[in-house]
Amino acid sequence: MSEHFPHLRIESDEQGYLVLRDGLTFCFYLHRAHEGLGPAILQALERFQRALPPQTLTLQPDSEGYWRTLKPSDWEHIQRSLLQDEWPQVTLISDSKGVPEFSFSYSGVPMDVTTRGDSIGRSCVATFGLPTEYLERHGPERVRELALEIAASLPFTSGYASLCFNAPLDLMGVRQRVRELAFSYPGMEIIDDSVSQDIGSRVRGAHWLTFLGQPLLSALGGASKLRARLSTSGTQVLELDGERAVVSLGTWPEAGDSTRGATLPAYRELARILEPWLYHRDSDTLYDPDFPPEEQLRWERRFLD
């Protein structure tokens, strides 16, 4: 374990394929239809790729879900899909042994979905994944700069940059392993694709970098009032423009360790301020025996209770 986070490696079999590892994620929710977002998503992807080694994102799923190597014509298709499709779905990963070290995914939402009553909270979502080795190699300031560069491209409603459990949660037994670790390391996010279905204008939680757009930032009184309410040493509130801001909790992202009493007071302070707008999964629509509703709520409120 490093000073700031654990090095987690769980293998599936004797061949050494990783099904869980520590990672770093940037995730942005855009509570609006995809229409007109294509150029912004492409710019964010280009900024992300420029920060990676050449030829890093080389695989995408085919129509049957099998990973295949990208060809030049595939990049043209991706660009066309983001610019022209009503409901684009793009996933790109690095060729890794098990869970990918680097990844990008985007799910757009058409207008009729975002305005329909039963889907009023559905959002477009863009996610960028990195290994913690990248963070250790380049340092937290460079990673922070990259997150801010990507955020500048996107008209986000909310978002975050955080340590995370990099794991395929739909693989049998993996979600349970993540649940077993999650309460020990409260600063590590569980990446859950279903959140975008109903997050709306809420915020996922308190993270190393917590991005606040509209209407949430106005509901909090703006960046200056939010700054005045945060007193933990190392916490900063940076205005990105008049409508958006990011809260930064210290130089490094921290996993914490509840078994050692490292409960992350800066994260707890921010969570208390954000509490009225925190996202909670609707247990009536999705039940997971590997992460029951009462455990899910306890994890979502890990910085509050």
pLDDT digits (tens, 9 = 90+) for 104-119: 999 999 977 666 655 7
Answer whether residue 210 is part of any domain. yes
Answer whether residue 66 is part of any domain. yes
DSSP string, 34-88: STT-HHHHHHHHHHHHHTSPTT---EEE-TTS-EEE--HHHHHHHHHHHHH-SS-
The count of structural domains within the chain is: 1
pLDDT digits (tens, 9 = 90+) for 18-39: 889 999 999 999 999 999 999 9
pLDDT at site 271: 98
Answer whether residue 36 is part of any domain. yes
- Whether the CB-CB separation of 269 and 236 falls below 8 Å is answered with no
This prediction has a pTM of 0.95
Answer whether residue 133 is part of any domain. yes
Q: Identify the bridge partners of residue 127 per DSSP, sorted by sequence position.
A: 27, 105
Answer whether residue 269 is part of any domain. yes
pLDDT along the chain (305 residues), means of 10: 85 78 97 96 98 95 88 93 95 91 96 68 96 97 98 97 92 87 95 90 97 97 96 96 94 95 96 96 66 88 94
Q: Which domain holds residue 264?
A: 9-296
Answer whether residue 303 is part of any domain. no
